[in-house]
């Protein structure tokens, strides 16, 4: 099994914070075989090649899910050796792409590492997340993006993070520093059985609430972040439509909490 770090202060708490290990530290090769990396992609032709090539250096299987891209993204992905390419013929949403990836890696891996294709993450920080998994536990690990102000994060990202953190908590999820981070580790079988309804960006907040109700711990660990400025900046954020989707998702989760306030049980 995994030989993760052990610096955990309260394993009964559903959300923990961990300082991680030095950037670039690698787990034993036997442990790496338990992981697969899932990269959901939609119209990221400017950044996806660099992200994939940096990720391949981790010596962990890489699954790229193209969510119906209409630019040259798919052709770029297919031109890179060593990746498993999955494809949605039409755009179905980031959550749907993550679920497609989880389903695919379930055949060979126990854990799925997800990261975004827009270049904001440092793929090698995945090792910090891996080392944050406590022994004999099956948590979701969320990479908390540090120094977003210094990294020139757009105001929409900074506002959205605070907004999301609050409503995840109100909906019955954990108190978090960065509930919107896409850099995560999911225990594959548990995550696929959480009955998450959202299929777009809202998947990443709903899964936290559903995991908490199922007594799956949520652990945050620090990761670095960078944001491109100018024409290289890639964003699929649509303020009006995403507000409506967020409102719908959180309203549904809050109503579920009111109707059935008891945790559903599950892994811990």
Three-class DSSP category at 187:
strand
CATH number of 15-259: 3.90.550.10
Does the pTM surpass 0.85? The reply is no
pLDDT band at 4, cuts 50/70/90?
A: very low
Choose the weakest-confidence range: 43-52, 122-131, 151-160.
151-160
Q: Tell me which residue has tokens 């995403």.
A: 242
Q: Would you state the structure tokens that stand for residue 193, as one six-digit string?
A: 């059985």
Choose the weakest-confidence range: 9-13, 145-149, 166-170.
9-13
Q: Say what the pLDDT of residue 6 is.
A: 32
pLDDT band at 242, cuts 50/70/90?
A: low
Q: Tell me which residue has tokens 């409506």.
A: 244
Using one digit for the tens of pLDDT, what is the confidence trace for 164-208? 899 999 999 999 999 999 999 999 999 999 999 998 889 999 999
Q: Say what the pLDDT of residue 189 is.
A: 97
pLDDT more than 90, % of the chain: 63
Extents of the domains making up the chain: 15-259
**Which residues are 203's β-sheet partners?**
none
**Average pLDDT of the residues in 83-87:** 98
Contact 147, 225 (CB under 8 A): yes
- Evaluated on CA atoms 46, 47, 53, 54, the torsion sign reads positive
| 128: nearest Cα among 234, 227, 19, 232 | 19
């Amino acid at each position: 099994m995994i030989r993760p770090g052990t610096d955990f202060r309260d394993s009964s708490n559903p959300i923990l914070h961990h300082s991680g290990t030095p950037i670039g530290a690698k787990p034993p090769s036997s442990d790496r075989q338990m992981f697969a990396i899932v990269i959901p992609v939609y119209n990221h032709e400017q950044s996806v090649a660099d992200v994939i090539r940096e990720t391949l250096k981790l010596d962990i299987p890489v699954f790229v899910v193209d969510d119906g891209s209409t630019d040259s993204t798919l052709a770029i992905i297919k031109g890179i050796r060593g990746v498993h390419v999955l494809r949605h013929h039409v755009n179905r949403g980031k959550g749907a792409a993550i679920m497609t990836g989880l389903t695919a890696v379930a055949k060979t891996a126990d854990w799925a590492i997800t990261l975004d294709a827009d270049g904001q993450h440092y793929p090698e920080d995945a090792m910090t997340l891996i080392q944050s998994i406590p022994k004999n536990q099956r948590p979701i690990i969320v990479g908390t993006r540090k120094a977003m102000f210094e990294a020139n994060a757009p105001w929409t990202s900074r506002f959205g993070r605070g907004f999301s953190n609050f409503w995840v908590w109100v909906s019955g999820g954990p108190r978090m520093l960065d509930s919107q981070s896409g850099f995560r580790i999911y225990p594959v079988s548990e995550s696929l059985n959480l009955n998450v309804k959202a299929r777009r960006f809202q998947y990443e907040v709903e899964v936290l609430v559903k995991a908490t109700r199922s007594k799956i711990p949520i652990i945050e660990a620090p990761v670095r972040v960078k944001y491109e400025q100018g024409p290289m900046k890639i964003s699929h954020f649509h303020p009006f439509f995403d507000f409506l989707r967020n409102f719908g998702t959180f309203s549904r989760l809050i109503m579920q909490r009111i109707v059935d306030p008891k945790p559903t049980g599950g892994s811990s």
